[in-house]
Amino acid sequence: MLSNKQKKKLLKTKHPHKESLETSYIDQMLGYRTLFSDFPQIKFLINNVIESDHLIKAGLLPQDLPELLLPDDIQDQIFNQINQRFDKNDPKGDEVWNQLTDALPKLDKQLRSYRDYLEAEYGMWAYISAPFVKDLADYIKPNAAVEIMAGNGAISKGLKDLGVTVYPTDNLGWVAENQTGKHQMTPVEKLDALAAIQKYQNQVKYVIMSWSPDKSPIDVAVLNAVRSANNDQLTLIVVGEKNGATNSTQFWQAANYIEPEATKKLNRHHQPFDLIKDRVYLID
């Protein structure tokens, strides 16, 4: 039915067609879930994306995500399953093979694009899960925190729900520019990062900075403000990709990383699900 040449075709040799702009990302994923219903590993990935979106749409923090990558041997799995279902000379087998393998690169692209979807749909840049925020709350309590550059306030909302005293702040300069301003999860005080540290430095022990822009030196100014604050216990909690998608090179070079065991615990539920390898860092 299927030749070895067909079986060995690589995903990277295919050229996915552009999906219809009229079909939403989630509708496409639902379609792929139906198409690949006989493949549990694929359904697992798709179900995680759909459930994550459902929770965020409901104003809740989502669950952790697995790495959203198709299994390396997925074409072998498809080949074997089709050979079990169809006789050698049944043209239906070739039809199903072509349908599934044509869809694989498109599905792979969609899974890898989930973060892009979250940015466009919800203005959600860092993926903040409920289990991660629970670990963060356990670390901060019984102390208080100020979140700077809070965006839609996802971290602060989760911490507040768990009884942590936290002050979400942002200069709100982006409110009219993207989806973040349309999906506020908690009220955010209009304060730039340095003003927020100045205002709350004696009321909190922690400053939370998540996904600071990689082209802006504000993070270095923040680090200097934390170090020069009246409160010598002030600690910076950073969520970002070291020497990557977030924060300036100067910041990562100047950072003094502390509490490795606590950092490891905070990262239990903050694992990469795509090509961005952001982590949690404790810095003073």
- Over the stretch 122-137, which tens digit does the pLDDT of each residue have? 989 899 999 999 999 9
pLDDT band at 183 (very low <50, low <70, confident <90, very high): low
Task: Tell me the H-state helices in 1-62.
Answer: 4-7, 25-35, 40-57
pLDDT of residue 23: 64
- 167: helix, strand or coil: strand
pTM to 2 decimal places? 0.86
Per-residue confidence (pLDDT) for residue 88, from 0 to 100: 82
CB atoms within 10 A of CB 190: 12
Domains and CATH numbers, the chain: 4-122 (no CATH), 130-283 (3.40.50.150)
Mean pLDDT of the chain: 90
The neighbour count for residue 208, using CB atoms within 10 Å, is 26
Q: Residue 283's Cα: distance from chain center in Å?
A: 22
C-beta separation of 168 from 199 below 8 A: no
The confidence score (pLDDT) of residue 237 equals 98
The yes-or-no verdict on residue 9 having pLDDT over 70 is no
Residue 274's nearest CA partner among 251, 253, 238, 244 is 244
* Count of residues making up the chain: 284
